[in-house]
């Protein structure tokens, strides 16, 4: 019994369970398929946000180019779907049948070589993960091995985002230009536009997202996670202890890139198109605010943050388009100034103490299991309700994150 409790506490399974219930049961039952598809689209961004929690919250390295990895994964998937959509029969009116329509419009007469691997689904699925990871490895290897971090890394990743966007828009014949790749309808002959397909894709997205959160949580609780936190707060000390700081950072950055790539691929599948507007600087910075709103230290919080910000964006940009950017600006400023730990931080600093106070007053402490004589109140109440456990166990994390917020510059004093 105690071992199970330990397990639940350690991996924050309770909050994950609540999230899974919300995504897999509550939302599908309460929303129509159009809205659910929209939620599915938001969830693809949540992959990026989860990756950012690892890189930024735990690793202390802010990347402003996550949209690039999202885009690479998305484009890899979109290229496969586009090739399937432009078989010689449906594209018979083109001057060169069998190639994507935008190539035909740009007077390209044969399929470029780098498109060929995307004729096969297994190769595409490999590319969805491998291409973003490879780019991330190149960038992070060059930077972290030379001990570049902090704002310099942010600037370089931002420049990469600009380069990739300009490249995609400029090479219209090979990439579809500003419009991107549109009309992606089928996957191996399976129509992804039907309602049942949308449900299946949604659940695929939820399952993969929960899976990645578990993976990230496992890394966080392992020795590598502890080292990441240590590096963020006292980089030199970790280095003097004999660890290679760069390797851990490279690994985390590549992990985040791979997750973003998966998110991008799911985006192309669910939404049916991919365009450079999800690659550039603006979307990349927006993805950072998803993680920041949810709480940069909380994997589950990142998902909530993504859902909230995107729901707000959809609502406000439909009803009050002028107001939305002001709200977004207020979000950026407010989160960094007032709630650096985001929603998860608010939960831990306000809801948890309030609840535990209430609990102790009401029950007078008789709910204590045997053997917890010296446990602090927060830990005692942890047995009462699942949501409580999730946050009580992160008292340590919270302590660490408070330190982290103050010493975000390694070696500042």
Partner 1 sequence: MEFSELLNIGLMQGFAGLSLFAVLLLMGLGLAIIFGQMGVINMAHGEFMTIGAYTIYLGSHLSSHYAPSLVSIYFPFAIVLAFLFAFALGWLVEWGLIRHLYKRPLDTLLATWGISLAMQQSFRTFIGPKEVSPTLPDWLLGSWAPKEGLDIPINGLFVLALTAVVTCGVLLALNRSRWGLRVRATVSNRVMANAIGIDTRKTDRLTFAIGCGIAGMAGAAFTTIGSTGPTSGQLYIVDSFLVVTFGGAASLLGTVVSAFGIAQTQSITEFFLHGSMAKVLTLSLIVLILMIRPQGLFASKVRR
Q: Which residue ranges make up the site for partner 1 (CB under 8 A)?
A: 56, 62, 64, 139, 142-143, 146, 148, 150-152, 154-156, 158-160, 162-163, 166-167, 169-170, 281, 285, 288-289, 292, 322, 325-326, 328-333, 335-337, 340, 405-409, 412
Compute the least distance from the CB of residue 241 to partner 1, in Å. 22
Q: Which is nearer to partner 1, 200 or 329 (CB)?
A: 329
Per-residue b or e along 4-17, where b marks 16 or more CB atoms closer than 10 Å to that residue's CB: eeeebbebbbbbbb
Compute the least distance from the CB of residue 308 to partner 1, in Å. 17
Structure tokens at 387: 């949501």
Cβ atoms of residues 198 and 37 within 8 Å: yes
Compute the least distance from the CB of residue 329 to partner 1, in Å. 4
| 75: phi then psi, degrees, rounded to nearest 5 | -65, -35
Compute the least distance from the CB of residue 30 to partner 1, in Å. 32
Per-residue b or e along 203-223, where b marks 16 or more CB atoms closer than 10 Å to that residue's CB: eebbebbbebbeebbebbeee
Compute the least distance from the CB of residue 129 to partner 1, in Å. 23
Structure tokens at 103: 């190539």
CA distance 272 to 212: 23
Compute the least distance from the CB of residue 371 to partner 1, in Å. 42
Compute the least distance from the CB of residue 186 to partner 1, in Å. 32
Cβ atoms of residues 306 and 294 within 8 Å: yes
CA distance 23 to 303: 10
Q: Which is nearer to partner 1, 116 or 409 (CB)?
A: 409
CA distance 343 to 275: 31
Beta-bridge mates of residue 274: 181
**Which of left, alpha, beta for 234 (phi over 0: left; psi -120 to 50: alpha)?**
beta
Compute the least distance from the CB of residue 108 to partner 1, in Å. 16
* Other C-beta atoms lying within 10 Å of the C-beta of residue 156: 18
Compute the least distance from the CB of residue 301 to partner 1, in Å. 16
Q: Which is nearer to partner 1, 205 or 289 (CB)?
A: 289
Compute the least distance from the CB of residue 182 to partner 1, in Å. 21
Q: Which is nearer to partner 1, 40 or 280 (CB)?
A: 280
Q: Which is nearer to partner 1, 128 or 288 (CB)?
A: 288
Compute the least distance from the CB of residue 289 to partner 1, in Å. 7
Cβ atoms of residues 304 and 290 within 8 Å: no
Q: Which is nearer to partner 1, 89 or 413 (CB)?
A: 413
Q: Which is nearer to partner 1, 138 or 200 (CB)?
A: 138
Residue 269 vs residues 116, 151, 286: alpha-carbon distances, Å:
20, 34, 22
Q: Which is nearer to partner 1, 64 or 390 (CB)?
A: 64
Structure tokens at 113: 């070589």
Q: If residue 92 lies in a helix (H) or strand (E), which one and from where to where?
A: none
Q: Which is nearer to partner 1, 40 or 60 (CB)?
A: 60
CA distance 111 to 99: 6
Q: Which is nearer to partner 1, 233 or 393 (CB)?
A: 233
Per-residue b or e along 125-141, where b marks 16 or more CB atoms closer than 10 Å to that residue's CB: eebbbbbbbebbeebbb
Q: Which is nearer to partner 1, 151 or 207 (CB)?
A: 151
Residues, the chain: 413
Structure tokens at 56: 């930024």
CA distance 326 to 332: 10
CA distance 323 to 365: 49
Cβ atoms of residues 387 and 15 within 8 Å: yes
């Amino acid at each position: 019994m105690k071992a199970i409790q330990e397990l639940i506490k350690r991996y924050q399974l309770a909050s994950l369970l609540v999230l899974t219930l919300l995504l897999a049961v509550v939302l599908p039952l309460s929303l129509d398929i159009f809205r659910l598809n929209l939620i599915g689209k938001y969830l693809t961004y949540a992959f990026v946000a989860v990756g950012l929690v690892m890189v930024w919250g735990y690793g202390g390295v802010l990347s402003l180019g996550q949209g690039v990895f999202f885009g690479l994964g998305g484009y890899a998937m979109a290229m496969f779907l586009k090739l399937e959509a432009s078989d010689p029969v449906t594209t018979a009116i083109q001057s060169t049948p069998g190639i994507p329509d935008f190539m035909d419009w740009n007077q390209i007469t044969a399929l470029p070589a780098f498109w060929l691997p995307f004729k096969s689904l297994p190769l595409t699925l490999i590319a969805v993960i491998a291409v973003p990871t490879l780019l991330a490895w190149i960038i992070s290897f060059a930077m972290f091995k030379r001990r570049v971090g902090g704002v310099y890394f942010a600037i370089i990743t931002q420049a990469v985002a600009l380069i990739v966007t300009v490249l995609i828009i400029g090479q219209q014949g090979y990439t579809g230009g500003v419009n991107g790749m549109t009309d992606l309808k089928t996957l191996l002959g399976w129509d992804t536009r039907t309602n049942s397909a949308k449900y299946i894709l949604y659940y695929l997205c939820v399952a993969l997202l929960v899976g990645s959160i578990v993976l990230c949580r496992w890394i966080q609780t392992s020795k590598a996670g502890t080292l990441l936190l240590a590096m963020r707060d006292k980089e030199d000390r970790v280095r003097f202890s004999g660890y290679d700081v760069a390797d851990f950072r490279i690994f985390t950055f590549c992990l985040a890139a791979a997750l973003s790539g998966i998110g991008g691929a799911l985006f192309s599948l669910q939404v049916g198109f991919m365009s450079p507007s999800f690659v550039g600087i603006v979307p990349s910075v927006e993805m950072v605010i998803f993680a920041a709103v949810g709480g940069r230290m909380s994997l589950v919080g990142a998902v909530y943050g993504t859902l909230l910000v995107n729901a707000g964006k959809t609502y406000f940009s439909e009803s009050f388009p002028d107001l939305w950017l002001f709200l977004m600006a207020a979000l950026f400023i407010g989160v960094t100034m007032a709630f650096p730990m985001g929603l998860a931080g608010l939960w831990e600093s306000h809801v948890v103490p309030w609840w535990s106070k209430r609990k102790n007053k009401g029950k007078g402490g008789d709910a204590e299991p045997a053997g917890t004589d010296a446990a602090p109140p927060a830990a005692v109440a942890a047995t009462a309700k699942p949501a409580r456990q999730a946050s009580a166990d992160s008292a340590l994390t919270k302590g660490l994150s408070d330190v982290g917020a103050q010493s975000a510059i390694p070696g500042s004093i």
